[in-house]
Structure 1
């Protein structure tokens, strides 16, 4: 009996030790970010600054908000983020203030100028930059942030849930697309002049994943302007915009009243939609909700199935 107890005790200790070894993170961490810069993290990160709204949302979703000491002025979700110290604009943050806060890690997106990030590096502030252009990229980014901030377990739980829902939604879309052509879609970023999202952008990827064809893929550049003639010629069957596309906020009724667009199929058939810009433009855990909005615009009959 005594021998059996010793064996059981040994097994318990072994399993416990194995669990610790799996959860413990070994340092240093060596990482190359999506801007091609190498970074080494010597110890667990305790003080974080995020410069992009999506990165801030990731930190909260990972349960690391107590380590978040500051954000850029663009970070407005969740509401608690507004109580954090403000380090200025997302594209050109206040370097002096960032340095004074002594962060262990600054997390940025590609919209922040590389010169700002390089200056932080020169001043001894570790920073990483991400450039996600799809839902898959966003999931990978969240895993990387979780790894770098010693939140791997929370990261696996979050990304597994996101990926499962993403795959389920893609399956619904693929079933609808079987033996059918993709609907022509136009996404309005700004109304006057008319700006849209071209090939290789996050919006372009979302439109494709949702079962549509982005008519702006043929335009030159990532964020092209579109003339009325080009829009009529492309004749989108689905027209998507957001409240943020006009200075005073666009409404669906105002979009419908654009007489100048009356010859476009989407306007003839009332296939006009407004999406939440903060959901569809930010690489964050909420991107799945943004994806759902695009699916509903292209396949309104799927509304009940995806909600």
Structure 2
């Protein structure tokens, strides 16, 4: 089967399931795993090139119709099978992977991968819920701020860990907000898009023209935002910059972000316990 992926997370899923050798096209934003470097590019994630896609004669195209609805329609009109996938929950992610295995003809090894991911997620959830719930907000963007809502995978992953998140209506994917809104919520933990201390700055994504890229932000910048100076997370130095791969790509590496966060919660619990002794 000839497969094209128009979403970076879908590309990662294909390779994790052992279907990478069937992938003949990806977008310029698909940068993991390293094997994708040699695969034909078919445009940007937000603007796939329908002519290039059709020229590769795919049997199956993976996409997210929330952003690629027009592309989906054109592909279906051309008789190309489409796998439309945008999970909001961990179980939605895993069942979607299982559906993909059925569609693409994956082997038993692929199902084992999903079983192991589901088991790891369950273990992380159990670890997280051994500790008191914490107020947490994930702030995305730089000049314009937003936080994930229930119609997003970021919210699904964070809420699964039993965290108290910023209140957002169930049908909203991303809610615009201000630093003043963050201050009113007074989170105990503040996550922001940015560069992880000690890691190299992320390369500019293809087509990105943002002057103040949130992915390149240093955590110390947040500590100097005047509007949140009295927020508990700021006072207690519980502000963390996180890369896109931690929570913004609903695929296998999402669990790495969850594991990092659970480890941070456990370390914080131990520190608080020591302070009370």
TM-score (norm 2): 0.84
1:114 to 59, 69, 74: 69
Kept in 2: contact 1:72–1:87 (CA 8 A) = yes
Kept in 2: contact 1:196–1:216 (CA 8 A) = no
Q: Give the Cα separation in 1 of the matches to 2:24 and 2:150.
A: 36
Q: Give the Cα separation in 2 of the matches to 1:198 and 1:112.
A: 17
Which deviations, in whole Å up to 9, do the C-alpha atoms of 1:248-297 show, x marking residues without a partner?
71112222232332111110111111222123111111121121133244
Residue in structure 1 matched with residue 205 of structure 2 by the alignment:
none
Q: Give the Cα separation in 1 of the matches to 2:28 and 2:9.
A: 13
Kept in 1: contact 2:4–2:61 (CA 8 A) = yes
Residue in structure 2 matched with residue 192 of structure 1 by the alignment:
143
1:127 positional shift: 1.1
2:245 to 278, 285, 294: 278
The 5 Å alignment of 1:167-182 reads: 167-177=122-132, 182=133
Q: Indicate the RMSD between aligned Cα atoms, in angstroms.
A: 2.2
Q: Give the Cα separation in 2 of the matches to 1:265 and 1:135.
A: 29
Residue in structure 2 matched with residue 207 of structure 1 by the alignment:
158
Tell me, which stretches of 5 or more residues in structure 1 are unaligned? 1-45
CA shift in 2, pair 1:111/1:78, >3 Å? farther
Which deviations, in whole Å up to 9, do the C-alpha atoms of 1:227-262 show, x marking residues without a partner?
233222111111001217942711122222323321
Q: Give the Cα separation in 1 of the matches to 2:89 and 2:261.
A: 14
Residue in structure 1 matched with residue 230 of structure 2 by the alignment:
263
- Report 1 or 2 for greater relative contact order, CA contacts < 8 Å, sequence distance ≥ 6: 2
Residue in structure 2 matched with residue 236 of structure 1 by the alignment:
187
Residue in structure 1 matched with residue 78 of structure 2 by the alignment:
123
2:103 to 148, 153, 157: 148
The 5 Å alignment of 1:1-307 reads: 46-177=1-132, 182-217=133-168, 221-243=172-194, 246-247=212-213, 249-301=216-268
Kept in 2: contact 1:196–1:223 (CA 8 A) = yes
What secondary structure is seen at the aligned counterpart in 2 of 1:225? Answer: strand
Kept in 2: contact 1:135–1:287 (CA 8 A) = no
**Deviating more after overlay: 221-230 vs 188-197:** 221-230
Q: Give the Cα separation in 1 of the matches to 2:97 and 2:76.
A: 22
What secondary structure is seen at the aligned counterpart in 2 of 1:274? Answer: strand
CA shift in 2, pair 1:173/1:163, >3 Å? same
Kept in 2: contact 1:211–1:295 (CA 8 A) = no
Which contiguous aligned blocks of 4+ residues in structure 1 show a shift greater than 6 angstroms? none
Q: Give the Cα separation in 2 of the matches to 1:297 and 1:220.
A: 30
Q: Give the Cα separation in 2 of the matches to 1:259 and 1:286.
A: 34
Kept in 1: contact 2:5–2:62 (CA 8 A) = yes
Kept in 2: contact 1:295–1:302 (CA 8 A) = no
Residue in structure 1 matched with residue 274 of structure 2 by the alignment:
none
Tell me, which stretches of 5 or more residues in structure 2 are unaligned? 196-209, 271-277
